[in-house]
Amino acid sequence: MNFFHSCVILFLIFSGCKTNNDVSSLQGNDKSEMNNSQGLDSVKEIKEIYREDFQRILDSNFLTGSVLIFDPQSEKFYSNNFQRADSGFLPASTFKIVNSLIAIETGMVESDSAMFKWDGKKRRLPEWEQDLILRDAFHYSCVPCFQEIARRIGSERMIRYLKAFDYGNMKVDSSNSDEFWLRGDSKISQRGQIDFLNKFYNSKLPVSARTFDIIKRMMVINDNDQYILSGKTGWSERDGKNNGWFVGYAETGGKVFYFAANVEPKENFNMDNFARIRKQVTLEALRKLDMIKDF
């Protein structure tokens, strides 16, 4: 692909996904059944626009990777590396969005104020060593809390919902149901993350309005006079190699913009900065496109 010129791709936009609270109704659903039930609305022309300034943002922060931004109003994707944006990586803690959706919809967790008791054992982060409600567990990215949620959901139900959501390529079975998003061969691309977020934001997933409302509230990171920022970070490590995510959407002026950044530190990068830098480079990219503005 020539990244220095815009190219046009065709994709199919599906809508009309039926909302259904009955978990048993998802039994046996596969992607073809979901697509047939949605129906084809239209074929739209989506443009991909290469952004050298996104690459400069990453280079100046000693990162490799890509930032992918989708503007549904103009039907344009922006990135410094579209090939990487179509490559799959472990979802890591970005999967907490999906985990929370399934937990609330199935009743495994009642609401975002449901309590998760700390067992008193040492945990990796001090913020996790306390009783946490779901909302705080989400923002603190409490891995043990969400592993408990996944065990409640169970592998069979998890697989059914993942198929219904058409979420990446998750490798789930009874042996890894509480860690498949953290290690192993599960993968989702940046484009896949944005596709999922687009369906989520527009309530095109088979869950109730109540579930959508709870998770959308829970995902808000920053609500100010200029924009509302919602999303989730993720961080995985394999063979000593760190991989970081920041996915979500920004709402401003009656418009929404979706983003998915996936980055890795270069040699000599200060890992103390990795937690915050994923958000920082994404916000810089959004500002370059005038999608969000500083105060």
Q: Which of 66, 79, 93, 100 is flagged as catalytic?
A: 93
Region 77-85: mean pLDDT is: 99
- Which runs of E-coded beta strand occur in the chain? 7-14, 40-50, 63-71, 76-79, 115-116, 132-133, 220-223, 228-238, 241-252, 255-265
The pLDDT tens digits of the residues spanning 187-228 come to 999 999 999 999 999 999 999 999 999 999 999 999 999 999
**Would residue 294 count as lying in a domain?**
no
Q: Which residues fall within 8 angstroms of residue 257, CB to CB, at 6 or more apart? A: 69, 70, 71, 72, 249, 250, 286, 289, 291, 292
**Would residue 254 count as lying in a domain?**
yes
Backbone angles phi, psi at 92, to 5 degrees: 50, -140
pLDDT of 239: 85
Sheet holding 63-71, edge to edge: 7-14, 40-50, 76-79, 63-71, 255-265, 241-252, 228-238, 220-223
Q: What is the pTM of this model?
A: 0.85
The reply to whether 93 belongs to the active site is yes
**Would residue 295 count as lying in a domain?**
no
A 10 A CB-CB count for 271 gives 9
Give the 3-state DSSP-derived string for 11-74, with helices as H, strands as E and coil as C. EEEECCCCCCCCHHHHCCCCHHHHHHHHCEEEEEEEEEEECHHHHHHHHHCCEEEEEEEEECCC
227 close to 252: Cβ distance less than 8 angstroms: yes
Q: What is the domain-level CATH number for residue 36? A: 3.40.710.10
Taking 60 as the threshold, does the pLDDT of residue 2 lie above it?
no
**Would residue 182 count as lying in a domain?**
yes
Q: To which residue do tokens 């991909």 refer?
A: 48
Please state, in angstroms and rounded to a whole number, the distance separating the CA atoms of residues 257 and 177: 32
Confidence of residue 43 (pLDDT cuts 50, 70, 90): low
**Would residue 14 count as lying in a domain?**
yes
Strand pairing category for 76-79 and 241-252: unpaired
Q: How remote is the C-alpha of 86 from its chain's centroid?
A: 14
Confidence of residue 294 (pLDDT cuts 50, 70, 90): confident
Q: Which residues on neighbouring strands pair with residue 133, listed in sequence order?
A: 115
More confident residue, 16 or 113: 113
The pLDDT tens digits of the residues spanning 55-73 come to 999 999 999 999 999 999 9
282 close to 259: Cβ distance less than 8 angstroms: yes
**Would residue 293 count as lying in a domain?**
no
Q: What is the domain range of residue 103?
A: 7-288
Cα separation of the two ends of the chain: 37
22 close to 106: Cβ distance less than 8 angstroms: no
Please state, in angstroms and rounded to a whole number, the distance separating the CA atoms of residues 64 and 125: 26
Q: Which residues on neighbouring strands pair with residue 132, listed in sequence order?
A: 116
Confidence of residue 46 (pLDDT cuts 50, 70, 90): confident
The count of domains in the chain is 1
Confidence of residue 20 (pLDDT cuts 50, 70, 90): very low
Q: Which residues on neighbouring strands pair with residue 181, listed in sequence order?
A: none
Please state, in angstroms and rounded to a whole number, the distance separating the CA atoms of residues 190 and 188: 7
The pLDDT tens digits of the residues spanning 116-147 come to 999 999 999 999 999 999 999 999 999 999 99
- Which runs of E-coded beta strand occur in 142-238? 220-223, 228-238
